[in-house]
Copies of this chain bind each other. A is one copy, B any other.
Amino acid sequence: MRAAHAEHGQIVIKEVAEPTPEPGQLLVAVKAAGLNAADRLIIKGSYVVGSSTRRAETQPPSIPLGAEASGEVVAVGEGVIGFAVGDHVMGVSGSAFAPYALISAALAMPVPEHLSFVEGAAFPVTFTTAHDALLSAGRMRKGANVLVTAAPSGVGIAALQLARSLGAGIVGASSRSAAKLGALADAGLPVDIGIVADDPGFVDTALAATHDHGFDIVIDNVGGPALPTYVAVAALRGRIVSVGRMGGEEGTFNLDELARKQLSLVGVSFRTRPVQEIVEVYRRAGEDIVPALAAGHLKVVVDRTFPFEEILAAQDWMQAGRQIGKVVLTFE
């Protein structure tokens, strides 16, 4: 079969053998696969998986791509309970950009009736990442004010909805684009206050909207240059959770202000987590997310689809940064 890999800083489509499921795995005929910001980091060689305190200097010369897929189960490995051939599933995978992919049964969910395969492929990474960021790293409690930065991103849209469904107080959204913020509101997403990223009144607007309390949790997809702004709008004892670094990796800010406000800046990533822990994150997220999804309370926002063979165009589209929601590859 033809699968997308990262080699020498580029995407290549190469001929590889069809995989066979190990114990606990599903072999899925992929119908759709979601793109993620991490794909680009893998291609650049800067997203190296492994539980090491030191950053690894090198990665293998060829790495399969594709973090999530939806499709039809065509074979199940030993010991799999709860899934059978023919089931429609969605889940995370290490090699989803291919016609056949392996998904661990522990990381798979049935595609709900009302979701298409394309929507299913846009769901697992964003909602699980957002849930983990809000609850594990952000230690969210009911009533907490939550600001989501780069809110029109896949993770951003998931975070807005989960924040509201988990009982947030004021839900804020920021974006470089006023038009995108308008589109989020038009789509019925829960945005109590939208703030344009380069608005010089950002801090005043955010504090006024929260009655000078500030945001207890900032789910940050932007990173570096905006950090001082997020420190300024955070509530006392707030948590700024670094989920993505779309705006840059280098952060500069005033540590004394972090201390004065007793803030925590918390980094999250799945790269350095053991598999068993990722399974646990999915299990916990699933308890909150799956019922809400089944009840139709969560919207999956897909910006655009590309046929698998046009993966380079899909990546370019992601890089251009004009999308609202997820970019998804489709398979025959």
- Residues of chain A having any CB pair with chain B under 8 Å: 46, 51-55, 207, 212-214, 223-224, 227, 234-236, 242-243, 245, 249-269, 271-273
A240 CB to closest chain B CB (Å) equals: 9
Tell me whether B53 and A235 are in contact (CB under 8 A).
yes
B207 and A256 contact, CB distance less than 8 A: no
* Residue of chain B at shortest CB distance from A271: B260
In the complex, residue of chain B having the shortest beta-carbon distance to the beta carbon of A237: B272
Q: Per a CB cutoff under 8 Å, which of B213, B245, B259 touches A242? A: B259
| Of the residues B227, B234, B250, B267, contact of A259 by C-beta under 8 Å | B267
Taking a contact as CB atoms closer than 8 A, the residue among B52, B214, B223, B264 that contacts A265 in the complex is: B264
Does A258 lie within 8 Å of B242, measured CB to CB? yes
Chain B residues contacting A259 (CB-CB under 8 Å) are: 242-243, 245, 267-269
B residues within 8 A CB of A227?
Answer: 255
Q: Contacts of A273 on B, CB cut-off 8 Å?
A: 262
| A251-B255, A251-B258 given; 7 more Cβ-contact pairs under 8 Å | A53-B207, A54-B212, A242-B259, A252-B252, A257-B267, A261-B269, A264-B264
**How many angstroms between the C-alpha atoms of A245 and B256 in the bound complex?**
7
Total copies of the chain? 2
List 6 A–B pairs whose Cβ atoms lie within 8 Å, in order of A's numbering. A53-B212, A223-B256, A250-B253, A260-B272, A262-B269, A263-B266
Asked if residues A261 and B272 are in contact (CB atoms below 8 Å), the reply is: yes
Nearest CB in chain B to that of A239: its residue: B264
**Bound complex: CA of A46 vs CA of B255, how far in Å?**
13
| A250 touching B250, Cβ below 8 Å | no
Q: Which of B54, B254, B264, B266 contacts A250 (CB 8 A)?
A: B254
Chain B residue with the shortest CB-CB distance to A244: B259
Residue among A224, A260, A269, A272 facing the most chain B CB atoms (10 A cut-off): A260
Report how far A261 CA is from B269 CA in the complex, Å: 7
| CB neighbours of A55 from chain B (8 A) | 257, 260
Asked if A260 contacts B264 (CB within 8 A), the reply is no
Bound-complex Cα distance A55 to B234 (A):
12
The reply to whether B242 and A255 form a contact with Cβ atoms under 8 Å apart is: yes
A210 and chain B: residue at smallest CB distance: B53
Knowing A235-B53, A263-B267, A264-B264, the reply to whether A255 touches B223 (Cβ < 8 A) is yes
Known: A53-B213, A236-B53, A272-B236. A256 touches B264 (CB 8 A): no
Q: Which residue of B lies closest to A264 (CB)?
A: B266
A251 and B249 contact, Cβ closer than 8 Å, known pairs A54-B207, A267-B259, A268-B259: no
Tell me the bound Cα distance from A273 to B251 in angstroms. 27
Contact A224 B262 (CB under 8 A): no
Contact, CB under 8 Å: B268 / A265: no
Query: Chain B residues with Cβ under 8 A from A260's Cβ?
Result: 55, 267, 269, 271-272
Which of A46, A252, A254 has most B Cβ within 10 Å? Answer: A254
Check if B272 sits within 8 Å of A267, measured CB to CB: no
Whether A252 contacts B251 by the Cβ 8 Å rule is yes
Would you call B250 and A251 a contact (CB within 8 A)?
no
